[in-house]
Amino acid sequence: MENVTEDKPICIIEVNENLRRVELGMELTRPLRQLNTNCEFKKKYEEWCNIQDGLDIDADIKKIENKDKIKAYYEKNKDKMKAYYEKNKDKINKKGKAYYEKNKDKINKKGKAYREKNKDKMNKKGKAYYEKNKDKINKKRRLNYKLKHG
């Protein structure tokens, strides 16, 4: 067992490390009594114990097999689905527009909530894209400016 004092607070990294050790049956970095004082560890440990009690290996194997069957079905019928979409494109688009008009407020609220929640992540991606394509973006801006202002 690693030498860890009881005074030192338990961080999330140590919680995750000990949960991994529990799953592998290895020795913990601290006594279980001490780890149970951490709410995060206790919650995840109890969750893990409940999962182990209700573990049904046959059901898990069937789920995996079903996923493989579904994936194979989509691979097999990819061309048929594409042809169906091309044939019924207008009908599908009308249904999509009707759904959007019916649920516009709900969709907009979800989108706004997502953007608020992931604002930093989206800003990082936008900056990375801009840095990667800076020349191309500036070229388009100059072209548009020339078209508008002669």
DSSP of 112-135: HHHHHHTHHHHHHHHHHHHHHTHH
For the chain, list residues with pLDDT below 70. 1-7, 50-58, 60
- Residue 93 structure tokens: 């688009």
The pTM of the full predicted model, rounded to 2 decimals, is 0.37
pLDDT of residue 18: 85
pLDDT of residue 33: 83
pLDDT of residue 1: 47
Distance CA 26, CA 13 (A): 16
- Residue 81 structure tokens: 């689905």
pLDDT of residue 108: 95
pLDDT of residue 90: 95
Burial class (CB in 10 A: 0-12, 13-18, 19+), 15: buried
Average pLDDT, the chain: 85
pLDDT of residue 133: 93
pLDDT of residue 64: 76
